[in-house]
Structure 1
Amino acid sequence: MLDPSLLLFPLLLALLATGLGFPPLIGYLAAGFALYAAGVDALPFLQPIADLGVLLLLFAIGLKLDLRGLARAEIWGGASIHLALTMVITTSAIKLFSVMGIALFDELSLNQAVLLAFALGFSSTVFAIKMLEERGETQSLYGRTAIGILIMQDLFAVLYLTISKGALPSPWALLLLGLPLLRPLFYRLMDRVGHGEMLVLFGLAMALVPGAALFEAVGLKPDLGALVLGILLAGHVKASELSKSLFLFKELFLVAFFLTIGQQGLPTGAEVLTALALMLLLPIKLGLFLLLLARFRLRLRSALMASLSLGNFSEFGLIVLTAAIAAGSMDPSWLRVMALLVAFSFLLAAPLSTHGQSIYLRLRDQLLQLERHPLHPDDQPIRLGQPRVLIFGMGRIGSGAYDELKQHFGDTLLGIDHKQEIIERHEQAGRRVVMGDATDTDFWDKLEHSDSVELVILAMPAHHGNLFTAEQLARIEFQGRVAAISRWPEEAEALKEMGVHSVYNIYEAAGSGVAEQVVELVKKPA
């Protein structure tokens, strides 16, 4: 029978972590170390669950990924240049630590130092995605940039792991190039499975069979297979629904992933000292990201927020070192050092990422000279013109509100959204929509003044986005009316406290809409 403490430890420590202002994943990491310290041996059933969590994470990333985005200079250039610079700086630092006689560094040869530097060059996909999802900012400019860089890093890691096997992938791997030809078949299957549990089962099957299992069978990383299958399904109308359906499964399975990191074993004093010395490199890693992204003309806030999301060490470093240890290239003690280093970096990165906006406001004046002009096209000033109605968030609710209000306000409506594909779709439908991220304080600084706006509608899917926008409207003393959507009573209360005049519960509004249509139907003669 499963020991109840295996569930109680992570739960209690996650509650403690959130109470202290850290994300719950810090509690899961601590639970892994606590279980090991309590004498609980490594649990073999956790690893398959952890692997499944990572597979579903990459599958979900693929479902949201615009493949064209990886070709952007700030993504492929930022990832590759940063990794190269990090390896040079880290290798030099490791050799310096060795000369100084610090802890375990004098045991490393030059080749081993380069390999360790390579492992330290990655940022945590799991950590960054978790933090971005909790803030609802995976589709913001900085969120898309960070995710793109993470995917490029993952591809570098997959390439190393393939080479480290000492054998090339099977020649049959070339047949995987034909997978896009099966996209129409996958789409038809996705159409037929409907919704609910069948859609979830379809997603799991796609990620694990033609994704992970097929790629592993031809000598490639199963993680890469899950990512590729997600990308192939990303263009389907149900892709977003599938991603949301898999969300809780992915979250639960990732708990096992963080527990397995903590169960690598309790480190010795020398290993702790080694990890602390390597932590000195973390500010350099973060600073390099900031400088590079600014050089690629991202606005300071976008560059800083992306850098804070990437300013950590990665679980892929553990995977790389595991492969190196299996090949006899590294001593097993370095796996414990890396596990401790990942945990330390999460402890530091979590509050930095959570309070990124405050950090930006505090450092903006000192770092503003890093910006290069002209700015990135997605970070350009926003010109509104003279609209009477602004709608923030042009998803299904925002689009419906736009079409309904157009009967009363004509062409004086303007939608604002931060996703380029949504803007293109609305422009094709004849709606006036501009690019903008209302959760970016620079958005409000970039806005050209307009005294024509009478009504603002907050229709973004994430409550924190609507609340933040309401705060900004209050800050600039907007004199018009403000309406917003909510899901829960506590969200409505928070919005009203911020000065929102009307709050509409989307579930209640949907029910009212159905009732109105039924009443109209009853009134009509049979």
Structure 2
Amino acid sequence: MIELVWIGSAYLMGLIASRLLFPPLVGYLIAGYALHASGFTTFTAIPHIADIGIELLLFTVGLKIKPRSLIRSEVLSVGGWHLLIVTAVSALMFFWLGKQITGGLVLGVSLAFSSTVLAIKVLEDNGELSSFHGRDVLSILILQDMIAIALLAFTDDHQPTPWALELLLIPFLRPVAYRLLEASRNAELRLLLGVTMALAGGVFAEHLDISADIGALLTGIMLGGHSKTEDIAHKLWGLKELFLVAFFLQIGLNNLPTQQQALTALALLAWLPLQGGLFFFLFIVAGLRARTAFVSSLALTTYSEFALITTESVVNSSLLGPEWQPIISLAVAGSLAIAAPLNRYSHILFAWLEPVLTRFERKKRQPHLDRIPESLGAAEWLVVGMGRTGVSAYAALHAQEKRVVGLDADPTVVEIHLAQNRRVIYGDSEDTELWSGLPLDKVKGVILTLPQFSLRCSAVTQLRQRGFRGKIGTIGYYDDEQEELMRLGADFVIHPLIEAGNQMARQMLKIKNPDA
């Protein structure tokens, strides 16, 4: 009965939120507070289910991580300076207010962390997890998680054992994991293997007194790189979404703040724009363009779910009063509810604010991947999106000795193609500045193989609006997609599966019948 109540409440409030153009997770947060106000309290299964959801989320993220492209100079500088500045400010504030300094300092550090769950979920929903800014955000989140482990050890007086170094053995298990994956030819078995490995990584990490989330992430990274990992991530998508509902519900189920506590939580929420502004400033100083800095900062402008754990620890250690638990709970929930819709429309928001934000860009920037290509050389054909379809189009043009260049938003994909002597440059198709600044004078045609329909529509629209008169070819999976793309200015639209059938028929007809 109780399961029906919390699942049904989550669905109802999620449906209302989606109808009001908010992400469903905003409804889940409200459902948690509504259930608490109705007399329901959290039960043992909810936190456990929430933990599983987070582990599955981080496991699927690990499947997509390419470690060599994860750590960047701006990550250490932006993440490190932001943490130091926020910690210093919080310490001064608690000293000025006459609060308990140690507990306030720990709380201030934890409030400098951003929500890993929300940021990754938003980036994944937007298809930006592999983009330049997506990797920077993910790297900063991992850096924060590493510091969070040490902070939690300090507040709990429970430090990781030296055996924690055994986590470094996980990458050496890759051959065994790959063999299991090859043996799991059934779709259900691959799904079970993914869940098993995510939970096994979490259990192993907990055994070493390390956060289970870190273990799940490392296990995903270990399994990543196999051709079938994308299939596992796809199958885990709906499952982890269901488990994550419990995470958002439990925030509201845990505590219901008083009026004074709610006002304090609102005061903490008022500080969020300053944290976001600090992130933006540090990204600009690191040499990033205004668009990248803005989108990255928006993804990081939340309070972390880790603050809930830290607050409980400092309260139990008598470093802060118990009234801080409902305050931080509401502040975290409020930050997630505010940030979720803003991140969904982050590119639209930047388009509105672009004239103001671009003024902060550094005039003389060092050569950086995050820049608009100044030249395409002698290229006459541009392929946007270097996945399987894009690579095939690139190879076909190159085979006919056409001058072609590829463009992709994943820095690692760019590096791989460059190593294979293909001419590929970095560029994010969602960047309006890219289409207005890309030198297309010599380009005769653009091929768009972007997976998201909205991105293809946006690219076609912006190309035609800037006056590009060359050919535009793209893909479409439904009749209405083809009609819309043609209306926007595409010269032709093909369905990949239909084209595959046509090619198969042509090849079959070319084969001579041995009995003829």
Question: Which TM bucket (shorter chain)?
Answer: over 0.9
Larger displacement relative to structure 2 (396-405 or 361-370): 361-370
**Alignment-mate amino acid for residue 196 of structure 2:** A
Structure 2: distance between partners of 1:19 and 1:180 = 44
User: Any unmatched runs of 5+ in structure 2?
Assistant: none
**Which residue of 115, 120, 129 maps to 2:111?**
120
Q: Which of 203, 211, 218 is matched with 2:208 structurally? A: 218
Query: Which one-letter code corresponds to 1:61 in the other structure?
Result: V
Go from structure 1 to structure 2 and tell me whether the alpha carbon gap of 1:184 and 1:71 turns closer, same or farther (over 3 Å shift).
same
* Residue from 345, 348, 352 that aligns with 2:342: 352
Q: Secondary structure at the match of 1:167?
A: coil
Q: Once superposed, what is the RMSD of the aligned Cα atoms? A: 2.2
Distance in 1 (CA, whole Å) between partners of 2:241 and 2:482 is 27
SS of alignment partner, residue 377 of structure 1: coil
* 1:25 correspondence with 2:19: no
Distance 2:70 2:387 in 1: 24
CA apart distance, 1:76: 2.0
- Distance in structure 1 (CA, Å) of the matches to 2:399 and 2:404: 10
Change (3 A) 1:495 1:5: farther
Q: Give 1:152's match in structure 2, choosing from 135, 143, 153.
A: 143
CA distance in 1, matches of 2:325, 2:508: 64
Distance 1:230 1:499, change over 3 A: same
Among 362, 366, 372, the residue aligned to 2:356: 366
Moved more, 159-168 or 73-82: 159-168
Which AA in structure 2 matches 1:230?
G
Residues matched between the structures, number: 514
SS in 2 for 1:143: helix
Comparing 280-289 and 174-183, the one that deviates more: 174-183
2:62 touches 2:218 (CA, 8 Å); kept in 1? yes
Judging changes above 3 Å, is the alpha-carbon distance between structure 1 residues 41 and 357 closer, same or farther for their aligned structure 2 residues? same
- Alpha carbons 1:90, 1:281 under 8 Å: kept: no
Q: Distance in 2 between matches of 1:432 and 1:60?
A: 30
2:49 maps to 1:49: yes
Counterpart for residue 387 of structure 1 = 379
Alignment gaps of 5+ in structure 1: 99-105
Q: How does 1:9-88 map to 2 (within 5 A)?
A: 9-88=9-88
Match of 2:131 in 1: 140
Report the alpha carbon displacement of residue 275 of structure 1 after superposing the two structures with TM.
0.3
Aligned equivalent of 2:420: 429
State the identity as a percent: 37
| Cα distance change of structure 1 residues 523 and 89 upon mapping to structure 2, 3 Å threshold | farther
Distance 1:190 1:3 in 2: 34
User: 2:104 aligned with 1:109, yes or no?
Assistant: no
Change beyond 3 A, Cα 1:339–1:168: closer
Aligned-pair CA distance for 1:94: 4.4
1:394 maps to a residue whose letter is: M
Counterpart contact for 1:458–1:484, Cα < 8 Å = yes
Deviation at 1:315, TM superposition (A): 0.8
Which amino acid in 2 is paired with 1:253? F
Preserved contact between residue 380 and residue 402 of structure 2 (Cα < 8 Å):
no
1:375, distance to aligned residue in structure 2 (A): 4.4
1:485 aligns with one of 434, 452, 475: 475
Provide the C-alpha distance between the structure 2 equivalents of 1:501 and 1:60, rounded to a whole number of angstroms.
37
TM-score where L is the length of structure 1: 0.91
User: Could you list the per-position Cα deviations for residues 182-202 of structure 1 after superposition, in whole angstroms to 9, with x for gaps in the alignment?
Assistant: 222222322332362222222
Secondary structure of the residue aligned to 1:320 is helix
Q: CA shift at 1:359, angstroms?
A: 2.9
Name the CA shift for 1:274/1:443 in 2 (closer, same or farther; >3 Å). Answer: same
- Answer yes or no: is the 8 Å Cα contact 1:58–1:227 preserved in 2: yes
2:299 to 299, 309, 313: 309
Residue identity opposite 1:412 in structure 2: R
Answering whether residue 434 of structure 2 is matched by residue 439 of structure 1, we say: no
Q: Deviations over 1:386-443 (max 9, x none)?
A: 32321110101111122233344x2312211122322233234343221111111221
How many angstroms apart in 1 are the aligned matches of 2:515 and 2:324?
79
When the two structures are superposed, what TM-score results if normalisation uses the length of structure 2? 0.93
- Provide closer, same or farther for how the CA distance between residues 39 and 473 of structure 1 changes in structure 2, counting only shifts above 3 A: same
Contact 1:298 1:376 in 2 (8 A): no
SS in 2 for 1:298: coil
